[in-house]
Structure formats: structure tokens, C-alpha cells
């Protein structure tokens, strides 16, 4: 199959491209669509056969559910049930963070095919802030089911070129809008009742909307953890399979060095260092074949987030070294999501 690539130019009206992509989705085809977080592999959410192809192409286990992307918050209740007890909290969250990198997990309506939710009675929904994802949702007139456009367990793509390398030849169309502005997948939360029966939130995946931001709105309670082994054994339904310990994995071995720690290289192995700013004592050690900075010079977490997956891909492809060493970064704000991805990549 030839994978077509269409450019999206932020300075012009792209409605024709969005319509073209929507027609492809309508015909059951798969289209990679940029969002502000990472590129998604989109299918018409109400076409179970098309959604099945998403699982096939991604080699994704059938127990790992997809996120629905909708054009605007008003459409939420077509796909999800807003229970009265959570209505106030959900309104606050959607007003503050939609469109944006935030996914809500709520009970699903009957409209949503079981294959989208892997048989769960809940569905994950978000309104992306990217005009392309929203534009195609609008043109299609219904939700688009879209996981990140990478093979299961691998590094998420933050550019059209990265999608092409992962899935080229296996999907019909890629919309190319350049680099993603966030670079890290959306934060996932689920409204629950705390032990006193009051509305609270489970933080199922760390992301660009931070724990600190949610704390101002609601109490955050620990998700009920299910080990990946239990999930595999039962072929059961994970709370958020992004919780699986190993994820976002490069092919090279990746290990993390904690702050202040000294790295002891093994003789004969060539190492590349993934550092935050490049100014740390670790970066000054003389054992690196290559040093890559997430935020060269400026030390900004947002810049590190945008560059994380692209730098991991670049390091994975480099022939200059055999293994990746990642320096732990500060875990406040967005740093928590970045460290979450690095830790899973290191298992």
C-alpha cells in the first residue's frame, strides 16, 4: 500500500484537506492526524472494522482501549455519560482544559463500539487543541478513534516523518503539520468518589496538564493498580494500559542515572547521554560518544517535553553508540510526565 502524505499549512484554510481525510475515514481507511501532543492513528470510531485495523497495524493487544477525539465538548454526551455527581467537576475540567491535552475516562454510551473500549464500560475522550484533529472530526461529523501512531510499546511519533517510519506502507494517509507543540501524550483522568463519597480524580497517566493543576480543582486519589502481569494473565481490562511498566521503548537499552549519581561505564560499550541541559557533572564525564540535550541551554521543561520522543528516536537510530543513558530530570510540573515516559522506556 502506498501511504499518501498531505501537508497542512497553518497559514491557510485547510478545510479541503480535512474533508479529504474525512472521506478516507468514511471509507474505512486509516489516517495519521497530528494533535498538539503526538500524532494519532485515526479511524472512524463508529466503524468497528476500521478500528480493528488500527489494532492490527499497531500490533496493539486487543485489551488496550483507544481514545475518542471529538470536535467540541458539546459532543461529549453522545459518547460518554456525565453522572450528576460529577457534572460540576467535569464542567470545570472541560472549560479549563478543552481543547487541550486532557483525556477524560467516563462511562460509555451504547453508541461506542466495544472494540474501541476493549470491552470496558468506560470510554476515554478528548478534544484536541490541534486544528487538524478538530477539523477532521468536524468534517467527519463524528468521533475519531486514535491511539498514538506508533507500533505498540514503541516511541510515540511527534512528526509526520516519524509516523512514516513507523507505519509507512501500512496506512492510507498522513496529514503533515510538522512537529507537535506538546510532544507528550495527554494527561488521563477519571472521576471517582473518594472514601467519603466525594468527587475526586484518579490520575491514570501523567501528561502536559500537571498534577499540580488538578490539585486546585479536585482531590487526586491513587488509581487502583493492576500489575501488567495480572493484565496479561487475565487478558483483562487495564485501568490505563499506559500504566504498563514497559512502554515507549527504544530498541537500544536505556538506563536512567539519578541526580547526583556517578555513571560507571562498562568497558567496550559506547554510550550516548540524554541530558536535560547539558551543563551537569554527569554531562561532563568523559565516557560519552554523544551528548543530546532535551532543552539545550534554556533548561525549560516545556522544551524538553516537545523534544523528548524525537531525541529518543534520533538516539535509537544513531550508529555512534550502543546504549542510551538518560539523566533524571526535575519531577515538578511537566517533569513528572517526562520522567514517567523515561522510566517506562528504561524497563
Residues that bind ligand TXA (CB under 6 A): 35, 37-38, 40, 64-67, 101, 103, 105, 117, 120, 122-124, 146-148, 185-186, 188, 204, 238-242
Q: Which residue's CB atom is positioned nearest to Mg ion?
A: 148
* Cβ proximity to Mg ion, 89 vs 102, nearer residue: 102
Phi-psi region of 180 (alpha: psi -120 to 50; beta: other; left: phi over 0): beta
Question: Distance between CA 131 and CA 162 in Å, rounded?
Answer: 20
Q: At what angle do helices 301-317 and 335-345 cross, to 10 degrees?
A: 20
> Of ligand TXA, Mg ion, none, which one sits near residue 66, judging by CB under 5 to 8 A according to partner kind?
ligand TXA
CB of 156: closest distance to Mg ion in angstroms?
A: 5
Report the alpha-carbon angle 26-32-34, nearest 5: 115
* Cβ proximity to Mg ion, 41 vs 282, nearer residue: 41
> Of Mg ion, ligand TXA, none, which one sits near residue 103, judging by CB under 5 to 8 A according to partner kind?
ligand TXA
Please name the residue that has the C-alpha cell 491514570: 204
CB of 141: closest distance to Mg ion in angstroms?
A: 26
CB of 154: closest distance to ligand TXA in angstroms?
A: 10
Paired sense of beta strands 122-126 and 102-107, if any: antiparallel
CB of 188: closest distance to Mg ion in angstroms?
A: 11
Contacts of 16 (CB under 8 A, 6+ apart): none
CB of 238: closest distance to Mg ion in angstroms?
A: 13
Residues that bind Mg ion (CB under 5 A): 148
* Cβ proximity to ligand TXA, 123 vs 312, nearer residue: 123
Dump the DSSP string for 198-212.
-EEEEEEE--SS-HH
* Cβ proximity to ligand TXA, 206 vs 277, nearer residue: 206
> Of ligand TXA, Mg ion, none, which one sits near residue 38, judging by CB under 5 to 8 A according to partner kind?
ligand TXA
Contacts of 298 (CB under 8 A, 6+ apart): 277
CB of 64: closest distance to ligand TXA in angstroms?
A: 5
Helix (H) or strand (E) holding 101: none
* Cβ proximity to ligand TXA, 53 vs 270, nearer residue: 53
Q: At what angle do helices 160-167 and 301-317 cross, to 10 degrees?
A: 40
Amino acid at each position: 500500500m502506498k501511504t499518501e502524505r498531505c501537508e497542512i499549512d497553518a497559514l491557510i484554510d485547510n478545510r479541503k484537506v480535512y474533508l479529504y481525510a474525512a472521506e478516507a475515514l468514511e471509507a474505512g481507511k486509516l489516517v495519521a492526524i497530528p494533535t498538539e501532543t503526538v500524532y494519532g492513528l485515526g479511524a472512524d470510531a463508529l466503524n468497528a472494522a476500521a478500528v480493528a485495523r488500527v489494532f492490527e497495524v499497531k500490533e496493539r493487544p486487543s485489551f488496550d482501549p483507544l481514545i475518542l477525539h471529538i470536535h467540541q465538548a458539546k459532543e461529549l454526551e453522545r459518547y460518554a455519560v456525565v453522572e450528576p455527581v460529577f457534572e460540576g467537576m467535569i464542567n470545570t475540567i472541560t472549560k479549563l482544559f478543552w481543547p487541550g491535552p486532557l483525556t477524560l475516562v467516563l462511562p460509555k454510551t451504547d453508541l461506542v463500539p466495544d472494540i474501541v473500549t476493549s470491552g470496558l464500560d468506560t470510554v476515554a475522550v478528548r478534544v484536541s487543541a490541534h486544528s487538524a484533529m478538530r477539523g477532521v472530526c468536524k468534517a467527519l461529523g463524528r468521533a475519531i478513534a486514535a491511539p498514538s501512531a506508533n507500533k505498540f510499546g514503541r516511541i510515540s511519533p511527534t512528526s509526520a516523518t516519524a509516523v512514516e517510519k513507523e507505519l509507512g506502507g501500512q496506512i492510507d494517509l498522513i496529514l503533515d503539520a510538522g512537529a507537535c507543540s506538546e510532544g507528550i501524550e495527554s494527561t488521563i483522568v477519571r472521576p471517582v468518589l473518594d472514601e467519603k463519597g466525594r468527587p475526586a480524580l484518579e490520575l491514570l497517566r501523567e501528561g502536559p496538564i500537571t498534577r499540580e493543576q488538578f490539585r486546585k480543582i479536585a482531590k487526586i486519589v491513587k488509581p487502583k493498580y493492576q500489575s501488567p502481569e495480572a493484565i496479561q494473565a487475565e487478558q483483562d481490562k487495564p485501568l490505563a494500559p499506559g500504566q504498563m511498566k514497559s512502554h515507549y521503548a527504544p530498541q537500544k537499552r536505556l538506563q536512567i542515572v539519578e541526580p547526583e549519581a556517578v555513571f560507571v561505564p562498562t568497558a567496550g560499550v559506547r554510550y550516548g547521554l540524554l541530558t536535560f541541559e547539558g551543563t551537569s557533572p554527569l554531562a561532563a564525564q568523559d565516557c560519552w560518544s554523544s551528548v543530546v540535550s532535551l532543552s539545550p541551554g534554556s533548561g525549560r521543561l516545556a522544551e524538553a517535553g516537545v523534544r523528548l520522543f524525537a531525541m529518543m528516536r534520533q538516539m535509537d537510530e544513531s550508529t555512534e553508540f550502543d546504549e542510551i543513558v538518560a539523566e533524571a530530570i526535575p519531577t515538578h510540573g511537566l517533569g513528572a510526565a517526562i520522567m514517567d515516559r523515561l522510566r517506562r522506556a528504561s524497563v
